[in-house]
Amino acid sequence: MKLKSSDDIVEDEEVKDCKYWVRFICGIPKKQKENDTPHISRKQIREFLYEKPKWKTFMNINAVIGLLVMVFLTGFFA
């Protein structure tokens, strides 16, 4: 068994602090146990993912316009 010096303990604490802040800034949650997640039924999933046809068309048109603008700007400044 290897004993750690006080310098190693300080470095370990700094690494833990660094990991904490990186996870906090990036939005990475703490690890949870698998039993903590609630059960979601298929009906709830379908209702959550449903898009009304009006908004589905609207978003598709916006995506095409965005792609056209990106291609134009890439070609213009290339």
Rounded to whole angstroms, the Cα distance separating 21 from 15 reads: 10
Record the pTM.
0.47
Nearest-angstrom CA–CA distance, 26 and 18: 12
> What is d(CA 14, CA 21) in angstroms, rounded to the nearest whole number?
11
Measured distance CA(51)–CA(17) in Å, rounded: 42
Instruction: Write out pLDDT tens, residues 14-68.
Output: 777 888 888 888 888 777 666 666 788 999 989 999 999 999 999 999 999 999 9
CA–CA gap between residue 12 and residue 52 (Å, rounded): 52
